[in-house]
Amino acid sequence: MMRVLIVEARFYPEISDALYDGAAHALDLAGVASDRISVPGALEIPAAIALAAQHYDGFIALGCVIRGETYHFEVVASESARGLMELMTNKGLCIGNGILTVEDEAQALHRARREELDKGGDAARACVALVALKERFAAMP
Instruction: Provide the strand spans (E) within 42-136.
Output: 58-66, 95-102
| Catalytic residue from among 25, 55, 72, 110 | 72
- Residue 78: Cβ within 10 Å count: 12
Distance between CA 67 and CA 47 in Å, rounded?
Answer: 23
Cα-trace Rg, the chain: 14
Whether 25 is catalytic: no
The residues that are catalytic are: 72
